[in-house]
Amino acid sequence: MASTHILTVNSQTFNVHLNYMFAGTGKDGAEHQPGALADILGIRPRDNILFYVMGYGFYGFFVAKSAGERLVFYESPEGQYLDDELGRKTLTYRFFIEPSPYGVYKYGVSEWDAIENPRNVAKQSVLNMQWTWIFKKSKAGRGCVAIPAEEFLLLMSIIKNGNEGVPYSKQYSFSDGEISPEKQPHEYLGETSRAPLLHSNWGKIAREEDLRIFFSADAGLDAILNGVLKPREHGSISYIANEVKCSFGMRSIDLLFLTDLKKCLLVELKNKFVCAKSMLDQMTGYARWIGSYKPYLQEIVPILVLRSPKLYPAGGRGYRFKFLSAQDMKKNRLSRWYRSIVDELDALRQEVGRAKIPKLAELEVYTFNVNEKGMLQSFAPLEQKR
């Protein structure tokens, strides 16, 4: 089943979205917002799109539609197309939408009825609550959030119940809390050919957020990521979530992937070669939660991705290298610093195993390599000590 994404809008911007059949996100006045970019690049053509209209509720249903060669296109915050109509709300990253095969429905469903009303919680079970949205609200999350298939199906049943379908139209309008067909044609005349990143260095990893963006955008599409996501073993990616919150504490995970084999991949990213104590809580805490609240999952796979350390100091000085010299590298004589990190990672693997969390697989650790220009080259599994 396609992934589902909920975009938060206000009544003014929602009417513009429906008039011109597009959606978007961004940070007011900002040229780029890495978190929002990673969120929206996780959308794939034909994914389900819902809107949460502030003060009104949830509206559906639409699907994402490609614009030429790409889905998401970039709109500069300076002189944005439809800026006045949008009330000067910056929407840097945009994509087109069209009516969903599920139909477009006239009325919205309030947050109370969709999230909190116990009558609408299937079997009155906590397993059937909209946890993704609840955690988004508790963390004051960004304006685009992905929800898993089972949450979408539950939300869809609530939205459709007693609602009125709207006749098919190329455009719609929103007024007084209702969606209706738009009779006046609106043609989107903005620039749609600009890539969401305004530089040619796609795949350059300078910061951790670059890695998250790359994974969100290319998971299931780029063979280089198969070395980590292993689709033959774990299945094809069916859901992508970026910076996922878990529980009402501060626990989160960088990336969460669900697959068609009912596996969950928990991915933590580090743009350096390091082992931190917080990793254990991030991996086991989230695994414990998702294993309890998503019982249909067959396996939970924790994955840690680290930047490969530099091989040796060019000037002959320094200790945070895999080897201390070119001669050491020839003899495969590892530095004490490197060996200590590997020991800590091996201990982390063992601690994850000792957590005794049902369905939790062994921790997988990978390192990524970049070339002299910082471009991502490959991933490799870190050898385990036995």
Q: What is the DSSP string of 257-290?
A: EEETTSEEEEEEEESSS---THHHHHHHHHHHHH
- Asked if the peptide bond before residue 257 counts as cis, ω within 30 degrees of 0, the response is no
Of 42-56, 85-99, 197-211, 364-378, the one with minimum mean pLDDT is: 197-211
Query: If you compute the radius of gyration of the chain from its CA atoms, what whole number of angstroms results?
Result: 23
Half-sphere exposure of 302 (CA within 13 A, CB side): 27
Q: CA 7, CA 352: separation in Å to the nearest integer?
A: 35
pLDDT in the model for residue 212 = 93
Judged by DSSP in three states, 137 sits in helix
- Asked if the peptide bond before residue 61 counts as cis, ω within 30 degrees of 0, the response is yes
pLDDT in the model for residue 200 = 55
Tokens 């910076």, located at residue: 243
Domain 208-381 fold is Trna Endonuclease; Chain: A, domain 1 (3.40.1350)
| DSSP 8-state class, residue 115 | I
Q: Which residues contact 111 (CB under 8 A, 6 or more apart)?
A: 52, 57, 58
Banded pLDDT at 258 (limits 50, 70, 90): very high
Maximum Cα interatomic distance, the chain, rounded to a whole number of Å: 75
Of 89-93, 311-315, 318-322, the one with minimum mean pLDDT is: 311-315
Which residue type occupies 326? A
Mean pLDDT on 128-133: 91
Structure tokens at 308: 């490969």
Say which CATH class 4-181 falls into. Answer: alpha beta
Sign of CA dihedral 23, 99, 264, 218: negative
Residue 154 has pLDDT above 90, yes or no: yes
pLDDT digits (tens, 9 = 90+) for 320-373: 999 999 999 999 999 999 999 999 999 999 999 999 999 999 999 999 999 988
Mean pLDDT on 225-245: 94
Q: Comparing C-alpha atoms, which of 345, 343, 234 is closest to residue 280?
A: 345
Residue 124 has pLDDT above 60, yes or no: yes
- CATH 3.40.1350 range(s) for the chain read 208-381
Q: Which residues contact 186 (CB under 8 A, 6 or more apart)?
A: 19, 20, 171
> Please, what is the Cα angle at 176 between 174 and 177, to 5 degrees?
70
Q: Comparing C-alpha atoms, which of 134, 135, 142 is closest to residue 25?
A: 142
- CATH 3.10.590.10 range(s) for the chain read 4-181
List the 237-245 sheet strands across, edge first: 237-245, 252-259, 263-270, 299-307, 364-370, 376-381
Banded pLDDT at 384 (limits 50, 70, 90): low
Q: Residue 226: what are its φ and ψ, rounded to 5°?
A: -65, -25
Banded pLDDT at 198 (limits 50, 70, 90): low
